[in-house]
Structure formats: structure tokens, C-alpha cells
Amino acid sequence: MSETSRSGAGRRLEAVSLASQSPRRKELLRALALRVVVIPSDFDEDRAEAAGEPEQLALTFACAKARMAKATGPAVVIAADTVVALDGQIFGKPKGTADAHAMLRALSGREHTVYTAFVVCDRGTGEERSGVESTRVQFSALSDTAITAYVASGDPLDKAGAYGIQGRGGLLVTSIVGDFYTVMGLPLARVGGALAELGYDLWAS
């Protein structure tokens, strides 16, 4: 069966390439009834210069992931990047447990903003769509005991801002203003809109 087939105004999309190692992004795309093939990218965000406005930084990183992705897998490639910003400071993934603890202490009792940029490329047509979504997140006041326990779980170490809103990380959050999926790492409605602009129909069966 081909990756796409004609259905109404748009083509049915059955599979995508994901230029990200994030299990959360893979899970979100699979929830859209898509087969997801994770493809490697030569982009090393640990070595990249993390400076500038958070929106632009996230978009630059997402574009780099897409551009440097291996030319394998399904023709439609999706890449994304998430950063957390507080008082002009940008928090990416922590470099270790001490860094994760410091990030969570800084976020404790405060409102911060999560920015997730995405890129959708159709290698078959050469077309591309991209964008950035932002969501405000309010943290509860965290005790040192809670921070230490959460960091010890290992859950914060692969996430921007040292937390994930799903799982136990949800205990840290008292409210959000904006798109929940942006905080998870992939704004699904925006990505769906980008795919529609490229001629794909996620509602097709």
C-alpha cells in the first residue's frame, strides 16, 4: 500500500518520517493513526548555539533537524523543537541532574512560556510549512523534596525545562494558557493545518 492515496480534496496520509528521538512526539503522531518512522538527523542541539529569542531559536533548531535528517523513510518529514523561557532565560534539556534541579527550582511557583516550533516537509514535492506555537505554564511552589524525587526518577533529563507535562510532571503544573500539546512537544492542530496546506487529509479513512 502506498503512503498516500486520493480521498476527497486531500490525499490520505498513512506514514510520516519523524526527525526526532522524542518518544512523546512519536506517540502523538501515532495517535493520529499514522505510521511513524523515526529517522536520524545529524543536527546536534547540544553543540548548537542557544542564543536569541526563544521563538526563533526553537524554529532554527527544528529547521536544522529537518534539513539534516537522513533521506530515508516516508516522504513527509516532521521535525520539532521545544524550549522553555523564563525572564529572558532559555531552558533547553538539562545537562545533568544538578542542571535539572536548578531549572525546576527557577520555575517553582512561577509562570513560564513553552515554545514549540515545527517543520513539515514533503520531499516528494519540495514544499515545506513551519511555525511556532507558545503556551504559558504556571508551576506550583515546589519543595526541595519534590524536586529531588522528580529528578531522581530520570524523567526530566531529556526534556526542555527539565519536566514533561504528562506523567508525574503534571503534578508540578497548576494551570496552562494555550495548547496542551505544545507543552508536550508537538502542536497537533498546527501540524495538522500544515499537512492540509500541503494537500494531505488526516480525516480520510
The residues assigned a catalytic role are: 81
Task: Count CB-CB contacts under 10 A for residue 202.
Answer: 16
Contacts 24+ apart (CB under 8 A), 165-173: 165/137, 166/24, 171/146, 172/104, 172/107, 172/139, 172/140, 172/142, 172/146, 173/137, 173/138, 173/139, 173/140
Alpha carbons 31 and 25: distance in angstroms, whole number: 10
Under a CB-based contact definition with an 8 Å cutoff, are residues 14 and 34 in contact?
Answer: yes
For residue 199, give every residue at least 6 positions away whose Cβ sits within 8 Å of its Cβ, in sequence order, or none: 10, 11
Instruction: Name the grid cell of 96.
Output: 545533568
DSSP state of 48: S
